[in-house]
Chain A
Amino acid sequence: MLPVRPPAETDFSSRLRSAAVTARVGLWLGICFGICFATGLLSHYAQNADHPIPFPTGPVWGYRLTQGLHVVTGTAAVPLLLVKLWTVYPRLFRRPEREVRRLVLDGLERASIAALVASAIFQLATGLANSAQWYPWDFSFRATHYAIAWVAIGSLLVHIAVKLPVIRRALTSDVESTVDDRPTATMPGALSRRGLLRTTWAAAGVAALAVAGGAVPFLRQVSVFAVRSGDGPQGVPINKSAAAAHISDEMVGPAYRLEVAYGDRTVALTREDLRAMQQRTESLPIACVEGWSAGAEWTGVRVRDLLDLVGAPGGRDVDVYSLQPSGPYRHTILQGNFADDDRTLVALTLHGEPLSRDHGEPARLIAPNRPGVLQTKWLARLEVSA
């Protein structure tokens, strides 16, 4: 018979629910969260309009690598978190302390654990949903995922500070050690402790492989849960279609002009004008926050050559406008160091063919080491303030 009363800590008898297991899984979970936090901060900064410290334009694969890592380590963290929580689950039902000082300290620790568990689950759940472009909530994903990331990493540091003596003991002694075990955790399970650890590493590995193909081309065949197969028009996936951005035939028809402006000097260029300028070819990846990326070869006009047409000085930020009538990326900032980089193009072709409508026909921005959402499609205007 199962007890009808709420469970007590002593009801849990498996010797697998041990600090020796928790600390080992926790170490790798902490590493994954650390990588997610660092790569997430980097992406958040790259997407800001203001860069007090210039974001580097190289290496060209920098953003692709860091955001691929962000999604792969976040995905691998799911099995790690589930197993870690399983090993400490009995602690949820521990008896309240009798003495006031201990009761307060225990309450504070419980609060920090609640913040950690809630924010950790929140980050993994919202991150996974976002990578599949599924938004079953009303809040802004970017602002909230960023804010809760600080709560997660902060409560993780507090947790490590509280548990440091136990973590040290557990990691420096054998995995079979029972020093920090609950007195009732003595029953052997179906698996040994080493077996459970190996199973956890295997689950994390399978999870990572199942999504890594979104960023690592040679893993595409095995990544059964990647949000992109890597295929798309002209061999490159797209994030936002022309239809979703409300781009009409008229906007990109014969009346199309790319305006380049500096102060009161403006030039308006037709497609033919752009094609008549010196063409450059660059290999630059398109890399998205959702962790998918694809290498591609772009040909078009250097942004710097266009800015020189109106005499815009170097080092200045450029206001970039898209033809799309609305949306947060209709107007973005191309920072001065990106605008001046020789590899930054107004691309007209992708893999040798004119850009398809969904890739930003007739012209799009492509710069090295930059978030995909800022690689503006359907370019309308480049403007440097006087």
Chain B
Amino acid sequence: MTHLKQLEQESIHVIREVVAEFKNPVMLYSVGKDSAVMIRLAQKAFHPGKFPFPLMHIDTGYKFPEMYEFRDRFVEEIGARLYVERNEPAIAKGAHPSVLGNDKCCQQLKTKALLDHLNKHEFDAAFGGARRDEEKSRAKERFFSVRDEFGQWDPKNQRPELWNLYNANIDERESVRIFPLSNWTELDVWQYIKLEDIPLVPLYYAQPRKVIEMNGIIVPCEFLETVDPAGKLGFTEDDIQEVDCRFRSLGCIPCTGAVKSSARTIDDIIQEVVDARRSERENRIIDLTSDSSMEQKKREGYF
């Protein structure tokens, strides 16, 4: 069997185990490429039936318009149930990285929204598309990651995972995060997307875009206001240039930059990933604040 078939089989096994062992699982849907692969795997796991759990999108309100569009069309096409959940009070108060700082903003709009709504729906298991190769602290994450009642991760106190025997026993107030793509790399994901012809938000593909370059981070100019609502950074019309670029990973507009690229097709992207000399999350401002920032976030309940 090819490596992709083996990875696929491992993920399908994990997804089925969760459905068999938990009462009320949910799949977190971020509209990105990893979510797209995870959904395809869920479809495969339960074919010819539909996958027996809903999707949940934690919406910060700062996602790209193309993402919302794509999300609604895609979810309808596959006939899945989708919950869109937000931290409305924080959004109403104008939560934004420029006001709260990146960490706090993330904590409010993502972590808190996630934990509140996992509780609200009484989900006991939540699938996420995170991969171990994405970030250092994730290299030690488990397929089944147990969280306490506050959704917190304790990296020092994780259960060993042996063979493909997953321990799904948890207490009343605990929950688990499940990472079926743990062993996939960015390259695997792209190759699988090609192999399976999986539809994606067009932002992943390069095209000439009108952008502004801010400290090495490329922001499409139409989003200037979303990134810098108070106009503190002082960019003007004159800073706009047209650049071939694409998004390597999709997050919130204020925290996700584009990268220069001419990869217009899936093959171009695969080649680009092979040649890539920089890691996929480098344009994600969220990971850069301190050396341990992802670990800190995960400890607090982020994915």
A, B assembled together: no
